[in-house]
């Protein structure tokens, strides 16, 4: 249980549950909580933490390569990495010692930083006394039957001595990019992609995430981005942006956290292992940009930046199935609920530590982007991207969210509320058979024009009254962050289709704000 904050939040949940919350007096629904606010979240105190540098039993620097001889032309060796070339190698790299040497230098430098500084283990070959390995795709090795003109690169495996060893399998194209004379326009990104595949080899050597394909990609992007920032600017860097495929995590918060390919064209969500996803154009069911949600580093960044610098390695060492369920096994269901709420509320306020500016830039860069089906044959109604949830007012004064973008499991909605005077009262109730007081919560939050973050305690049913005597919301806008707290992926069919419903009611001095307003720019007059 998470110290006094979580205990207080659960007390509020319990108070709301105990009343029945059926009566409405003066337009206020259920029990009223008043001014239980905070400006900073408590820390997680190494609740999930794994640091390879704290272990005493570490592998020594390898002195040999994997004993691979099948159709081998030659091999090159660095300190921790080796490169295997087949007899049919493309002429651009077959005897290109410069490209091979520069590639091994880059891999040695980056993975030494990842291991020795960032606290990650080495991959399976190094753990067993061998150098990590790159095999040349299309060169006639037993790994493939490809032509030496074929392109591509990915993490694969090779069988040696009756065991499967994770490797980088890369064509001539990214390898040649390490030659300083290479003229390719995408040279830099190709070299970085080789490090990306090497990170996958590290992940493949760890016990975690056997049911979490999304985390294989998202955590990879986080690790490489964090390494690059630290190498260039030191550990006190300020991140300017996320990778562009992080857009869905930030501007489509209704998507689940553990989600592959995001919000699909049929209105369901891709599962943690790409359940329900059937590919891209011309016949697939994914949407543009959001279809790459698995490459988003936003939730891994939350773990590494907010929870603990070594939280992501802990996930890989301990969450052998799904990620959120594995974390909950360690910290408990109540705390994982708090983690989901904190993640969503921090994103609403761009309160993301060194990545606060990166969140803000994503909002500014992608607000209003029209998202359509990526397939030529599968239609979906275009969606104009906004992090804010549209609502309509029913006859009883309740705000009804647009059902197409209500939260999936572990998803959220952000409703911007324009406040004319103090105090503000917001009433909240779960709605429909899927939504309960156990799996839904609402939290009010805002920034002042000076940047101070203000959060209410979350509440699952009833009303919250907030005064602005001390902290006034920038541009007079407060956010209601509505979360679904279901964190268990329970199968391919039902839960992917679930959209969790609720109702919101505002006091008479407030109304919903423009869902395309840039309310995340608290330091500007809007």
Cα distances (Å, whole numbers) of residue 270 to 205, 279, 281, 285, 309: 26, 11, 16, 10, 28
Q: How many CB atoms lie within 10 A of CB 332?
A: 15
Q: How many CB atoms lie within 10 A of CB 55?
A: 10
Show me where the domains of the chain are located: 3-46+388-512, 61-206, 237-365
CA 374 to the chain's CA centroid: 21
> What pLDDT score was predicted for residue 26?
54
Q: Which CATH architecture has domain 3-46+388-512?
A: Sandwich (2.60)
> What pLDDT score was predicted for residue 282?
77
Task: Yes or no: say if 392 and 399 are a contact pair by the CB < 8 Å rule.
Answer: yes
Closest CA to 68 of 82, 56, 50, 51: 82
Closest CA to 428 of 373, 493, 483, 390: 483
Backbone angles phi, psi at 61, to 5 degrees: -65, 130
Task: Yes or no: say if 386 and 248 are a contact pair by the CB < 8 Å rule.
Answer: no
Quick check: helix, strand or coil at residue 479? strand
> What pLDDT score was predicted for residue 508?
96
pTM of the predicted model, to two decimals?
0.94
Please state, in angstroms and rounded to a whole number, the distance separating the CA atoms of residues 347 and 355: 10
Task: Yes or no: say if 31 and 19 are a contact pair by the CB < 8 Å rule.
Answer: yes
> What pLDDT score was predicted for residue 391?
98
On the CB side of 512, CA atoms within 13 Å amount to: 19
Please state, in angstroms and rounded to a whole number, the distance separating the CA atoms of residues 467 and 161: 69
> What pLDDT score was predicted for residue 24?
45
Q: Cα 394–396–402 angle (5° rounding)? A: 25
> What pLDDT score was predicted for residue 73?
97
Q: Please report, in tens digits, the pLDDT of each residue of the chain (526 residues total).
A: 444 344 444 333 433 333 333 344 457 899 999 999 999 999 999 999 999 888 878 889 999 999 998 999 999 999 999 999 999 999 999 999 999 999 999 999 999 999 999 999 999 999 999 999 999 999 999 999 999 999 999 999 999 999 999 999 999 999 999 999 999 999 999 999 999 999 999 999 999 999 999 999 999 999 999 999 999 999 999 999 999 999 999 999 999 999 999 999 999 999 999 999 998 777 799 999 999 999 999 999 999 999 999 999 999 999 999 999 999 999 999 999 999 999 999 999 999 999 999 999 999 999 999 999 998 888 899 999 999 999 999 999 999 999 999 999 999 999 999 999 999 999 999 999 999 999 999 999 999 999 999 999 999 999 999 999 999 999 999 999 999 999 999 987 799 999 999 999 999 999 999 999 999 999 999 9
Task: Yes or no: say if 515 and 386 are a contact pair by the CB < 8 Å rule.
Answer: yes
Q: Tokens for 452, please give them.
A: 């101070």
Inter-residue long-range contacts of 55-64, CB under 8 Å, 24+ positions, other chains counted = 59/122, 59/126, 59/127, 59/128, 59/129, 60/129, 62/125, 62/126, 62/129, 62/130, 62/131, 63/129, 64/129, 64/130, 64/131
Closest CA to 337 of 115, 5, 38, 67: 5
């Amino acid at each position: 249980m998470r110290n006094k904050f979580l205990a207080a939040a659960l007390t509020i949940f319990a108070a709301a549950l105990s009343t029945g919350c059926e009566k409405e007096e003066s337009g206020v629904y259920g029990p009223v909580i008043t001014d239980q606010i905070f400006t900073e979240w408590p820390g997680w105190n190494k609740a999930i933490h794994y640091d390879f540098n704290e272990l005493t039993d570490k592998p020594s620097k390898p002195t040999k390569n994997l004993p691979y001889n099948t159709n081998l032309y030659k091999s090159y060796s660095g300190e921790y990495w080796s490169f295997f070339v087949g007899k049919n190698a493309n002429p651009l790299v077959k005897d290109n010692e410069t490209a091979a040497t520069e590639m091994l230098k880059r891999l040695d430098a980056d993975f030494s930083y990842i291991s020795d500084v960032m606290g990650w283990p080495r991959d399976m070959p190094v753990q067993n006394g061998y150098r990590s390995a790159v095999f040349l795709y299309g060169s006639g090795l037993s790994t493939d039957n490809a032509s030496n003109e074929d392109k591509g690169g990915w993490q694969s495996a090779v069988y040696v001595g009756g065991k499967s060893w994770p490797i980088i399998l890369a064509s001539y194209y990214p390898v040649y990019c390490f030659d300083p004379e290479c003229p390719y326009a995408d040279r830099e990104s190709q070299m970085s992609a080789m490090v990306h595949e090497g990170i996958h080899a590290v992940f493949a050597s760890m016990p975690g995430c056997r049911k979490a394909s999304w985390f294989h990609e998202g955590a990879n992007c986080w690790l490489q981005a964090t390494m690059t920032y630290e190498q260039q600017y030191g550990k006190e860097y300020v991140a300017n942006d996320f990778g562009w495929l992080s857009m869905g995590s930030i501007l489509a918060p209704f998507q689940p956290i553990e989600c592959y390919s995001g919000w699909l064209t049929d209105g369901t969500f891709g599962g943690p292992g790409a359940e329900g996803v059937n590919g891209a154009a011309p016949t697939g069911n994914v949407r543009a940009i959001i279809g790459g949600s698995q490459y988003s580093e936003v939730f891994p960044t939350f773990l590494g930046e907010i929870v603990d610098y070594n939280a992501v390695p802990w996930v890989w060492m301990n969450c052998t199935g799904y990620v959120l369920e594995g974390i909950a096994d360690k910290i408990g269901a109540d705390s994982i609920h708090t983690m989901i709420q904190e993640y969503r509320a921090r994103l609403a306020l761009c309160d993301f530590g060194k990545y606060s500016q990166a969140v803000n830039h994503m909002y500014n860069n992608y607000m209003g982007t029209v998202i359509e089906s990526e397939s030529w044959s599968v239609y979906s109604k275009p969606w104009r991207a906004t992090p804010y949830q549209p609502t309509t007012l029913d006859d009883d004064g309740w705000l009804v969210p647009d059902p197409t973008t209500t939260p999936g499991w572990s998803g959220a909605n952000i409703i911007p509320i324009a406040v004319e005077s103090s105090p503000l009262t917001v009433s909240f109730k779960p709605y429909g058979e899927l939504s309960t007081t156990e799996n839904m919560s609402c939290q009010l939050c805002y920034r002042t024009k000076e940047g101070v973050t203000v959060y209410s305690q979350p509440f699952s049913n009833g009303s919250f009254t907030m005064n602005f005597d001390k902290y006034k919301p920038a541009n007079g806008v407060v956010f209601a962050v509505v979360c679904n707290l279901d964190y268990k992926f329970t199968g391919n069919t039902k839960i992917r289709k679930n959209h969790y419903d609720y109702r919101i009611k505002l006091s008479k001095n407030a109304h919903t704000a423009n869902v395309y307003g840039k309310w995340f720019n608290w330091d500007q007059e809007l």
